[in-house]
A and B are shown apart, each in its own frame.
Chain A
């Protein structure tokens, strides 16, 4: 009897971070690039390993692609405007997406005055996450947003932006009111007790929002890859069954193609939702009274 293929191990190996990038070749074997390993930096008792990993490389690729797209689009639009005429082609599409995120996500949720100030941050989030998600769908690619640390760092920037913008917009007294909150209509001892109960709830409420952002992006990207790889794994499970294996092969490839198409949509949707929810939370802080 043949050894059962280790599909779970294969899936975890594919989605996990690594110190090497492997380019599997169609005729077997792989071209492996070993990334440099640096000694961890000691900060107090903490050892911080700053050596690059696969996901770091793909984040750098995504950032470079965002920069290249935006600079090229800006130049092309300038050229087309100078010639006097409507923008056309790919720059026009990028412009439409940027305008949609700026007007219907940032300004619509944060408010007319401050929305334009936060639009660059929201747009950066959107394009960076979009490119990270899409890089996981190209051959030999890796999804940097399928790493809890990457989405956690993105959510930390969202937390800092939400809280600091709240401090600036509301002032120290107004900001304290979002933590020490007395329910309206209570007086005396009831107000003191209710305020004491509400303080931890308010603080947890502030922390849960970025936590949910982190988990949502991570789980969506990881789950998509798990489903695709599990469907591909079914082929190898049925690899030594006589005729059924061809039926399984066809069905599995059909479902993988379907999931890939769905993943393209989810990559766009999750970038949009991260940008949308961040701007909704910033807007909630701005209008807190």
Chain B
């Protein structure tokens, strides 16, 4: 009887842990979908702009890196929080 109870408690704990891991994984995936869309758009438009005006490519590259870094920051914040909730 006692063994059974212990096994049930263990199973419940594992299920909780698995759900937490699943949640962290889904959150990471969603954050990365958004970042991929955003940075892909920035990269595509920047390449297009450089093809139109090769002489302005230096300025465009700087603006591209800056904007991509801003998006990346938000995404990494989401990833860090997902990781934190997994660890905690």
Contact = CB atoms under 8 A, between A and B. Distances in A.
Contacts of B66: 273, 276-277, 280
A220 B65 contact: no
B63 to A, nearest CB: 11
Given A277-B66, A280-B66, A212 B79 contact: no
Interface residues of B, number: 13
Chain A at the B interface: mostly helix, strand, loop or mixed?
helix
Contacts of A220: 72, 76
Nearest to B58: A104
A138 B64 CA distance: 30
B11 to A, nearest CB: 19
A272 B65 CA distance: 10
A212 B80 contact: no
Interface in B55-88: 62, 65-66, 69-70, 72-74, 76-77, 79-80, 87
Interface in A80-132: 104
Interface string A268-287: 01001100110010000000
B69 A216 contact: yes
A153 interface: no
A109 B82 CA distance: 34
B65 A216 contact: no
A276 B65 CA distance: 10
A12 B83 CA distance: 12
A273 B74 contact: no
Contacts of A277: 66, 69
A218 interface: yes
Nearest to A215: B77
Interface in A54-69: none
Interface string A223-254: 10000000000000000000000000000000
Contacts of B62: 104
A212 B74 contact: yes
Interface string B45-60: 0000000000000000
A219 B65 contact: no
Contacts of A280: 66
- Output the residue of A104, A223, A273, A277 with the most chain B CB within 10 A: A273
Interface of B: 62, 65-66, 69-70, 72-74, 76-77, 79-80, 87
Interface of A: 12, 104, 212-213, 215-216, 218-220, 223, 269, 272-273, 276-277, 280
22 contacts: A12-B87, A212-B74, A212-B77, A215-B73, A215-B76, A215-B77, A215-B80, A216-B69, A216-B73, A216-B76, A218-B80, A219-B76, A219-B77, A219-B79, A219-B80, A220-B72, A223-B76, A272-B65, A273-B65, A276-B65, A276-B66, A277-B69
